[in-house]
Amino acid sequence: MELPSEIDSFSALLALLALSTKNSIEANAPLLHEAVYNLRENKSFNKFFGNYFFQRRGSYHYSRDLEVDFGNLELSFLLSNKNPSLSVYTIEDKIKSAFEKYTKPKISPESLGELEAMAAEFSKCI
């Protein structure tokens, strides 16, 4: 599966979160991994997550690379987990600003439309 030349899986994940209609999402690995796996399996969106290899882990599909990318978003303070139980990620303006500044200028209008549709689908399933 070949990714569009202008975007890698990390950038697609950044776009997915920045374009999501949600202000927060559960910091729940099974839920997030299964949601991205389902997007990857969707023929309309699979080109964006071609670098993620998923393995069945109990009741859900797990990707080590996806887990690393979520960790990198946290370490770069683009995705925060400030609540006391650490059970919710807050999608702050920082992630949207990073997308607008670094990722969006590299994306074709066609790919941007596909990413927006993918983010809408992601927002429904989480």
User: Per-domain residue ranges for the chain?
Assistant: 9-125
How crowded is residue 60: how many other Cβ atoms within 10 Å of its Cβ? Answer: 16
How crowded is residue 14: how many other Cβ atoms within 10 Å of its Cβ? Answer: 26
pLDDT digit string (tens) for the chain, length 126 residues: 455 557 899 999 999 999 999 999 999 999 999 999 999 999 999 899 988 999 998 899 999 999 999 999 999 989 988 777 778 998 989 999 999 999 999 999 999 999 999 999 999 988
Separation CA 81–CA 24 (nearest Å): 10
pTM for the whole structure = 0.90
